[in-house]
Amino acid sequence: GAGVSQTPSNKVTEKGKYVELRCDPISGHTALYWYRQSLGQGPEFLIYFQGTGAADDSGLPNDRFFAVRPEGSVSTLKIQRTERGDSAVYLCASSLSGNSYEQYFGPGTRLTVT
Amino acid sequence: SQQGEEDPQALSIQEGENATMNCSYKTSINNLQWYRQNSGRGLVHLILIRSNEREKHSGRLRVTLDTSKKSSSLLITASRAADTASYFCATELFAGGTSYGKLTFGQGTILTVHP
């Protein structure tokens, strides 16, 4: 079956611009996660959705970052006033439910802020 | 912040040899998961071991968990060139009677298997 998909695969933007990153989870998965991975590091948690609601947004670095999942399926991560330090690979994962289930990761969106 | 620490940071072996990677963590966990990542296929889930389990097998993979030492190991037997990748351990925290779903990853071990 189809895995987690993310679009775009690559995004280059100028400092100060707004970007949206999209994640399509595996059908039927109620839990959705966003992570960010910098070069040479492990993924770092950003936000977790259970259904439509953000169950845990403690990893969002500041208020320039926001994510939604209005219908409990597709999610969009939004970054305002991008900074060069936001450059990273943004990973989305989904699981059957939250807690104690393996997470299936998408290929990621590589964001470069120039 | 990174909870898990993998050891070694890099490992280079010949095809057919076994590879052992270790992971240490700091707080109580609900489960620990191992993932593989290479540039071609992204992060792939390998195995999940729950806090009340001590050992788990999947094909050529063997994972152990010692909650008293807060450590885990991943053993890959009879390695192949295709096993070349970065390997990450990730912990799902457990605090106050709740597990949180989110994973905390270590920095990974880069494994190179030479043909």
pLDDT in tens, A26-84: 999 999 999 999 988 999 999 999 989 888 899 999 999 999 999 999 999 999 999 99
Q: What is the rounded average pLDDT of the residues A9-23?
A: 98
CA pseudo-torsion sign B83, B87, B93, B99: negative
Q: In the prediction, which pLDDT does B68 show?
A: 95
Give the sheet arrangement for strand A65-68, strand by strand: A5-7, A19-24, A75-79, A65-68
Share of chain B above pLDDT 90, in %: 77
**Whether pLDDT at A86 is above 70:** yes
Chain A residues with CB within 8 Å of chain B CB: 31, 33, 35, 40-45, 48, 50, 55-56, 59, 91, 93, 95, 98-100, 102-108
Q: In the prediction, which pLDDT does A1 show?
A: 57
CA pseudo-torsion sign B55, B76, A26, A53: positive
Q: In the prediction, which pLDDT does A74 show?
A: 97
Contact A37, A88 (CB under 8 A): yes
- Tell me how far apart the alpha carbons of residues A46 and A34 are, in angstroms, rounded to a whole number: 5
Q: Give the other-Cβ count within 10 Å of A31's Cβ.
A: 21
- Tell me how far apart the alpha carbons of residues B97 and B38 are, in angstroms, rounded to a whole number: 35
- Weakest-pLDDT range from A73-82, A99-108, B81-90: A99-108
Q: In the prediction, which pLDDT does B73 show?
A: 98
Token pair of A30 as six digits: 């109620």
- Tell me how far apart the alpha carbons of residues A92 and A107 are, in angstroms, rounded to a whole number: 8
Q: Determine the distance in angstroms separating the CA of B75 from the nearest CA of chain A, rounded to an integer.
A: 19
The CATH number corresponding to A5-10+22-99 among 3.30.420.40, 3.40.50.1820, 3.30.70.1230, 2.60.40.10 equals 2.60.40.10
Q: In the prediction, which pLDDT does B3 show?
A: 61
Contact B52, B69 (CB under 8 A): no
- Considering A46-60, B7-21, B28-42, B92-106, the range whose residues carry the highest mean pLDDT is B7-21
- Mind listing the domains of chain B with CATH numbers? 5-96+103-114 (2.60.40.10)
Q: In the prediction, which pLDDT does B98 show?
A: 64
Q: In the prediction, which pLDDT does B8 show?
A: 94
Residue of B92 and B54 predicted with greater confidence: B54
Cα–Cα–Cα angle for A37, B71, B91, rounded to 5 degrees:
40
Q: What is the domain partition of chain A in residue ranges?
A: 5-10+22-99
- Neighboring chain B residues of A40 at a CB cutoff of 8 Å: 107
**Whether pLDDT at B1 is above 60:** no
- Tell me how far apart the alpha carbons of residues A35 and A89 are, in angstroms, rounded to a whole number: 8
- Tell me how far apart the alpha carbons of residues B5 and B15 are, in angstroms, rounded to a whole number: 26
Confidence band for A102, pLDDT divided at 50, 70 and 90: confident
